[in-house]
Amino acid sequence: MVRALVRLIKRRIRRFSQLNHLISHDFLTSLLNRKAFLYRAEQELMRARRYHEPVVCAMLDLDCFKQINDVHGHAMGDKVLIRLSRLLEENLRRSDIIARMGGDEFCLLLPCTNAKNLDSKFDTMQLAFKKIVFHSNGTDFTTSFCCGLAEFPENNMLLSLLQSADNALGAAKSTGRHRVIMPGSPKR
């Protein structure tokens, strides 16, 4: 009787855990989804305020993603999204918060970090991603991403931090592909 009850409780805990994962994670990449990211980001900013620590927000967007879907199909577009998400997970710390915000847009929150310290890290990730060759119907292609950075405490509210990173991403995309820009920094 007790063993049966223990098994039942363990099964329900496992189901709850699975449901919680489905609710908070993107179905394709298994990264956090937008809602879960916003909650975790707000918690992280409260912690950063308390301890007077810097935080960087990065918004990433794939270059020419619509063209990838149109030419190579949505299944290949999904493979590109999954590969970028794995690259981010492999190159960032466990304490960094990574999310797929929707479509081909990703958002990262990097605690205890200054944007100056990230130039080489994002350059390295961009180069690594650019070297990945995707194979589709006898055709090989590569792609890249743009990135906009913003810092806390300069942007002291989550909304302003996200907006600043998004504006920097827009600036990066408008100056070409394969760019990383922070507001106030020279375009590179």
List, for residues 13-38, the tens digit of each pLDDT value.
777 666 665 567 899 999 999 999 99
Q: pTM here?
A: 0.86
pLDDT tops 90 at residue 67: yes
Locate 77 and state its tokens: 């577009």
Structural domains in the chain, CATH included, are: 25-181 (3.30.70.270)
**Cβ–Cβ under 8 Å, residues 28 and 81:** yes
**Using 50, 70 and 90 to split pLDDT, how confident is the model at 188?**
very low
Q: Which residues pair with 107 in a beta bridge?
A: 59, 99
The predicted pLDDT at position 34 comes to 95
Q: Which residues pair with 108 in a beta bridge?
A: 58, 98
Q: Which residues are catalytic, by number?
A: 104
List, for residues 132-186, the tens digit of each pLDDT value.
999 998 899 999 999 999 999 888 899 999 999 999 999 999 988 888 887 655 5
List, for residues 101-140, the tens digit of each pLDDT value.
999 999 999 999 988 878 788 889 999 999 999 999 889 9
